[in-house]
């Protein structure tokens, strides 16, 4: 499908936000789902690039991405009025918690965008929403004000320029030290971070979900280029089609 860029902004160091409009199932898309975006005419960059849906209104959606290579560089150069050829929404999103659940959302760096969409959906349902976000520095941080409107926000940066000095795990531990307990924990970020988040709750009765951002080729379950290991070494699952969101007990982190 072809979406139109309506707005572009550089929102942090190397981080861009694009707002897109056009025919899209805005009312049924789930937080955690993503788009596969064609780069250029698709000749030089044959593989589409996966980018999460970060926010949705009734007639637009936003994506937020870090420029890491040629594909994301090309995306950052789009202007209002440009068309974007996208496939989506793809993948399996985050299951929402039951009403009145106590929820913790944990985002590391560029893992935060799909969690904003999730936080918007969780906030009206939950009894308590805590959000822990970690960035390298204040210059890398984005959407902090938007998250703060939705829940109790604890920030951490590696250099202490914003929030606690430390990692997002320090932010989680600081919330826990206040005596907070959660029924549901949702996380997105680098795999080592996801592993430690899961370990933090190993002795508690918590339902945990992680979003894995594996490298992808087809994005629709056909090529098996994105597999991850399931618990117990019993098999593999495709991140693009079976995920990217998984129950953290169902995958090897």
Residue among 216, 228, 245, 253 that touches ligand FAD (CB under 6 A): 216
Secondary structure, 3-state, 151-202: CEEEEEECCCCCCEECCHHHHHHHHHHCCCCCCEEEEECCHHHHHHHHHHCC
CA distance 210 to 198: 9
Show the binding pattern over residues 148-167: x = contacts ligand FES (CB under 6 A), - = does not.
--------------------
Q: What's the token pair of residue 241?
A: 């089609």
Q: Which region holds residue 121: left if phi is over 0, alpha if psi is between -120 and 50, else beta?
A: alpha
Interface with ligand FAD: number of residues (CB under 6 A): 20
Size of the site for ligand FES (CB under 6 A): 12
Query: Could you say whether residue 219 binds ligand FES (CB under 6 A)?
Result: yes
Q: Residue 47 or 176: which CB sits closer to ligand FES? A: 47
- The answer to whether 134 contacts ligand FES (rule: CB under 6 A) is no
Binding track over 220-249 against ligand FES, x by CB under 6 A: -xxxxxx-----------x-x---------
Q: Among ligand FAD, ligand FES, none, what does residue 224 contact (CB within 5–8 Å per kind)?
A: ligand FES
User: What's the CA gap between 150 and 152, in Å, rounded?
Assistant: 7
Q: For tokens 């044959």, what's the residue? A: 46
Q: Are 5 and 20 spatial neighbours (Cβ–Cβ below 8 Å)?
A: yes
- Contact with ligand FAD (CB under 6 A): which of 17, 52, 126, 167? 52
CB of 163 to ligand FES, least distance (A): 35
Q: Check binding of 51 to ligand FAD (CB under 6 A).
A: yes
Taken as a whole, the chain contains a residue count of 253
């Amino acid at each position: 499908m072809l979406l139109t860029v309506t707005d572009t902004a550089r929102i942090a160091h190397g981080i861009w936000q694009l707002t897109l409009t056009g025919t899209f199932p805005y009312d049924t898309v789930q937080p955690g789902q993503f788009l596969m975006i064609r780069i250029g005419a698709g000749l030089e960059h044959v593989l589409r690039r996966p980018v999460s849906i970060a926010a949705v209104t009734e007639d637009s959606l936003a994506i937020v991405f870090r420029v890491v290579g040629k594909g994301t560089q090309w995306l950052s150069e789009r202007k209002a009025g440009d068309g974007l050829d996208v496939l989506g929404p793809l993948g399996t999103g985050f299951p929402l918690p039951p009403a009145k659940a106590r929820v913790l959302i944990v985002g590391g760096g560029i893992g935060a965008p799909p969690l904003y969409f999730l936080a918007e959906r969780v906030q009206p349902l939950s009894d308590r929403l805590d959000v822990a976000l970690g960035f390298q520095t204040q210059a890398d941080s984005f959407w902090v004000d938007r998250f703060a409107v939705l829940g109790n926000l604890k920030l951490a940066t590696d250099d202490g320029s914003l929030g606690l000095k430390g990692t997002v795990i320090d932010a989680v531990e600081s919330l826990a030290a206040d005596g907070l307990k959660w029924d549901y924990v949702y996380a997105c970020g680098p795999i080592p971070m996801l592993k430690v988040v899961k370990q933090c709750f190993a002795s508690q009765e918590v339902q945990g979900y992680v979003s894995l951002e594996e490298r992808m080729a087809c994005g629709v379950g056909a090529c098996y280029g994105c597999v991850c290991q399931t618990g117990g070494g019993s098999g593999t699952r495709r991140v693009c089609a079976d995920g990217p969101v998984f129950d953290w007990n169902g995958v090897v982190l």
